[in-house]
Structure 1
Amino acid sequence: MLRYAATRLISLTLSLVAASLVIFAVVEVIPGDPAAYMLGLNAAPEAVAALREDLGLSGGLVERYLTWAGGMLTGDFGTSYTYRVPVADLVAARLWISLPLALYALALSTLLALPVGMLAAARRGRVTDYGIMGFTQLGIAVPNFWFAMLLVVLLAITYPIFPAGGFPGWDAGILPALRALTLPAVALALPQASILARVMRSALIETLSQDYIRTARAKGLTEGQAIRNHGMRNALIPVLTIIGLQFSFLLAGAIIIEKVFFLPGLGLLIFQGITQRDLVVVESVVMLLVFAVILVTFLVDLAYALVDPRLRHAR
């Protein structure tokens, strides 16, 4: 197990280094000068040059990359060109919205998808299976921002159960904060639950055709007992992959939902950084999200090893 974890950790560390090079190169080749953008079109060249020097943009690419990467390793993400505050403070404030929202949506989608996928697999080829597959196809096809607006109309305006937007902050209490995140989480969870339920169904159907499942049935186990006791564990491997990918998407890809519900999260911060040419914010936040994706991938790999003993003992 330790050998497997060390191998995966080395591989993911190299992926992190490669991702930092790609992110820095892509952001640096985007047209536009942040100093010229901040001072306006009629700014004097001397003022632009002075501001570039003040922002640390006058050095070479290699020097700037090493400075940025070294700062990331020590927890110094630099200072925002636009807000003139440390990027770490901006990220910390936004992370306490995006991270709970992603976890909330992931929990909702997982709690809904796993039993639904198991039911569809147990009733495969029947009316229940066809109905579940039809609803999951609809859940994938419906745009989440349109579903979000329907939720606002129904549960925030027609029946004012949840707030229509905004975030009161965690200082206002856990319940008001969770109420503000409920509709966005449901809007994000719908397509993810649909995808996860279909993957769960397919994985279970494939598992149920194996010889050891037929042996379990021959020993007198019912279909449900065979799924729960023997099929579920082996079917979890592709499901874990989808859950890991979904968490990464929910953490970084909720820009539209954050706009609909006026949530100042990480996605909105990246969008603002791009439009304002705040390069250090874009580079640092994207790098943090890449690190989150790689970390989740590493944890999913460890979960594979726990679920599948063959990986723990493979050389």
Structure 2
Amino acid sequence: MISYLTKRLASLVLSLFVASAVIFLVIEVIPGDPAAYMLGMNARPDTIAALRTELGLDGSVFERYVGWVTGMLQGDFGVSYTYRTPVATMVADRLWISLPLALYALFLTVVIAFPAGIFAASRRGQAGDYGVIGATQIGIAIPNFWFAMILILVFAINMRWFSAGGFPGWENGFLQGLKALTLPAVALALPQAAILTRVMRSSLIDVLGEDFMRTARAKGLSTQQAIFRHGLRNALIPVLTIIGLQFAFLLAGGIIIEQVFALPGLGRLVFQSISQRDLVVVESVVMLLVFAVIMTNFLVDLAYALVDPRLRVRA
């Protein structure tokens, strides 16, 4: 198990290093001068040069990369070109919206997908199975922003159960904040639940055909008992993989949903920073999201070892 963890940690560190280099280089080669953009088209060259010096843009690419990575390791993400505010403060404020939204949506995804996938797999070829497959096909085909607009129309405008957008802040109460995130979380969760349901169904159907499942049934267990005692755990490996990928998507890919519901999250911050050529913010937020993806994959690898003892034995 120690060898397994060591290999995964080494892979995590290497992935972070490569990702940081790629992110920095890709963003740095984007055409345009942030200093010229901030000062406007009529700015004098000496004024632009002075601002570039102030922002640290006149150093070499290697020096700026080393300074950026060193600062991140110390918790210093730099200062926003546009807002003249520490990036760490901006990211922390937005993260308290995007992270709960992603966790809420992931929770709803699992709550919907697991029962639906188990129900469909246990009734393979029957009407219930076909109904679940049809529903998941619709969920995959329809984009989440369309779901978001329908949810706003039904539950915010017609029924007035929820607000159509905005976020009141956690200081106004946990339930108020959770209520404001409910419709965005549902809009994000429904397409992901459709995907996870199909993966759960396929994985469980494969497990149901194994010899140990037939042995469990021969010993007198019902189909449901055999699934929950023996089948579900063995079907979780591909499901955990999809859950890890979905969490990364929900955290980093909610830009459109945040725009629809006017949520001041990380996605909206990245969108605004790109339009304003605020490279420091873009680099820092993208690196943070990459770190979340890599860390999630690392935790999924650990979950593999907990779910499947064979991985620990091989390690």
- The interval holding the TM-score normalised by the smaller chain is over 0.9
Q: Take 2:219 and 2:198, find their aligned partners in 1: how far apart are those partners?
A: 29
Residue ranges of structure 1 left out of the alignment (5+ in a row):
none
3-state SS of paired residue (1:46): helix
Partner of 2:186: 186
Q: Structure 1 residue 20: deviation in Å?
A: 0.3
Partner of 1:159: 159
Runs of 4+ in 1 over 6 A off after TM superposition: none
Q: Which amino acid aligns with 2:266?
A: L
Q: Structure 1 residue 270: deviation in Å?
A: 0.7
Partner of 1:211: 211
Q: Structure 1 residue 313: deviation in Å?
A: 1.4
Partner of 2:255: 255
Q: Structure 1 residue 3: deviation in Å?
A: 1.6
Percent of residue pairs bearing the same amino acid type: 70
Q: Structure 1 residue 297: deviation in Å?
A: 0.6
Partner of 1:287: 287
1:1-315 aligned at under 5 Å gives the runs 1-315=1-315
Q: Structure 1 residue 162: deviation in Å?
A: 0.7
Q: Structure 1 residue 2: deviation in Å?
A: 1.9
Q: Structure 1 residue 12: deviation in Å?
A: 1.1
3-state SS of paired residue (1:153): helix
Q: Which amino acid aligns with 2:267?
A: G
TM-score between the two structures when normalised by the length of structure 2: 0.99
**Cα RMSD (Å):** 0.5
Q: Take 2:171 and 2:213, find their aligned partners in 1: how far apart are those partners?
A: 51
Q: What's the CA shift string for 1:125-179, capped at 9, x where partnerless?
A: 0000000000000011111111100000100010000111000000000111111
Q: How many correspondences in the alignment?
A: 315
Residue ranges of structure 2 left out of the alignment (5+ in a row):
none
Q: Structure 1 residue 6: deviation in Å?
A: 1.2
3-state SS of paired residue (2:235): helix
Q: Which amino acid aligns with 2:81?
A: Y
Q: What's the CA shift string for 1:209-254, capped at 9, x where partnerless?
A: 1000011111111111111010000100000000000000000100
Q: Take 2:166 and 2:65, find their aligned partners in 1: how far apart are those partners?
A: 37
Q: What's the CA shift string for 1:58-95, capped at 9, x where partnerless?
A: 00000000000000111000000001010000000000
Q: Which amino acid aligns with 1:163?
A: S
TM-score between the two structures when normalised by the length of structure 1: 0.99
